[in-house]
Amino acid sequence: MNRREFLKATAATSAVLLASNLLHGVSNAEGIIKIPEADKIMVTILTDNYSDINVYSHNIARRWRRAPGPIEDWPLHAEHGLSYLIETTINGVDHSFLFDFGSEFRGVLRNMEILNVNFNKLEALALSHGHWDHDLTFVDLMKAKKDTMREGIPLYVGEEAFIERFSREASGKVVGMNQLRREDIEALGFIKIVEIKDPASVVPGAFFSGKIEMVTEYEKILPRLVKREKQEFVQDLFAGEQALILNLKGGGLIVLSGCAHRGIVNAVKTAQKITGVEKIHTVMGGFHLVESKPEVVQKTIADIKALSPNYIVPTHCTGFPAITAFAREMPKEFVLSSVGTRFTFGG
């Protein structure tokens, strides 16, 4: 490469990096990701384990209320699964994407239509990890909405999103847990798969965490969750599991998890480390405490308390005992999740 070619290539690279930095955030010399502050953030629960049309609204939580019509049209679908619509507003510009997709196609699609998800405006798709309760609907949803979505829409995933995953039963039998296939997504013809290892912007103001560091001594991955490696079953460490990090103007970080297999406290601490922001505004998502011993639940609550969040919103695989423990021990911060709830921060 001669000097002219070198300068041309350098200029082009710098332009791409600058454009990316201006749009999505800047990483400084210390490796800190400067996530743009959002004036407003909205998180809508498209599906979750719990639905209640009578639950009261909260100052940050607008509950779904039935529209007039036949009684069979009232309920929203609940399931063992999770899906969010995420919306950010930065400098007057709105952005939106789907984070996780639930497990039962017809129910999730119906919820999305009732809750008026605008597929035309979606800028991205994002998957926390490759488990059936977060991705089983994906291909069918995309087929159903293909004609209303933008060409080349990115699907952000972490490492190992498309591997086979299994659960080992008490009897020793290993049971498959479905598999989202890269080739099925590519066959749709309009989605660009973006596999990440490091923190990465999904839309302006919303970042995937990259690898979640496991720093607590008590947050352990369930031994029964395994993957196949060289014809043997080994423990799945969920190396590519992603938490979602948002930064509310004047409020601090909002950290959302899918299942938090690597630990919800670990996810929040990773968010603090990579952003350099200590203040935690909200911790929301599946905390995967459903099979945890009471002492692990108590340690988790103690560490979440120490983070002093404004709000705590356990969902999905947190488990009823842990959810009630959070409600009992953090009554001012606790907000109940229910399908159809729209959480609004700022604005």
Tell me the pLDDT of the chain averaged across its residues.
Answer: 91
**What pLDDT, on a 0 to 100 scale, did the predictor assign at position 66?**
72
**What pLDDT, on a 0 to 100 scale, did the predictor assign at position 191?**
98
d(CA 47, CA 34): 31
Tens digits of per-residue pLDDT, 239-296?
A: 999 999 999 999 999 999 999 999 999 999 999 999 999 999 999 999 999 999 999 9
State the Cα torsion 7-9-12-13 to the nearest 10°: -110
Tokens (6 digits) for 113: 């239509």
- What are phi and psi for residue 264, nearest 5 degrees? -70, -35
CA pseudo-torsion sign 17, 19, 23, 26: positive
Phi-psi region of 69 (alpha: psi -120 to 50; beta: other; left: phi over 0): left
* Angle between helix 294-307 and helix 320-329 axes, rounded to 10 deg: 40
In the chain the first and final C-alpha atoms are separated, in Å, by 51
Which of 345, 339, 259, 263 is closest to 309 using CA atoms?
345
**What pLDDT, on a 0 to 100 scale, did the predictor assign at position 167?**
95
**What pLDDT, on a 0 to 100 scale, did the predictor assign at position 54?**
86
pLDDT cut 70: percent of the chain above it: 89
pLDDT exceeds cutoff 80 at 74: no
Tens digits of per-residue pLDDT, 293-325?
A: 999 999 999 999 999 999 999 999 999 999 999
pLDDT exceeds cutoff 70 at 10: no
Tens digits of per-residue pLDDT, 128-151?
A: 999 999 999 999 999 999 999 999
pLDDT exceeds cutoff 60 at 4: no
**What pLDDT, on a 0 to 100 scale, did the predictor assign at position 30?**
62
- What are phi and psi for residue 275, nearest 5 degrees? -100, -20
pLDDT exceeds cutoff 50 at 189: yes
Give yes or no for a contact between 24 and 204, defined as CB atoms under 8 angstroms apart: yes
Q: What is the mean pLDDT of residues 189-200?
A: 97
**Residue 314 CB neighbour total at 10 angstroms:** 28
Give yes or no for a contact between 79 and 49, defined as CB atoms under 8 angstroms apart: yes
**What pLDDT, on a 0 to 100 scale, did the predictor assign at position 21?**
46
**What pLDDT, on a 0 to 100 scale, did the predictor assign at position 31?**
75
d(CA 257, CA 287): 7
For the chain, domains (ranges, CATH) are: 34-346 (3.60.15.10)
73 confidence band (pLDDT: 50, 70, 90):
low
Q: What is the mean pLDDT of residues 44-64?
A: 93
Candidate from 52-56, 68-72, 234-238 with smallest mean pLDDT: 68-72
pLDDT exceeds cutoff 50 at 22: no
In order, the DSSP letters of 31-95 are --EEPPPBSEEEEEEEE-S---TTPPP-SSEEPP-PPSS-GGGSPPP--S--EEEEEEEETTEEE
pLDDT exceeds cutoff 50 at 154: yes
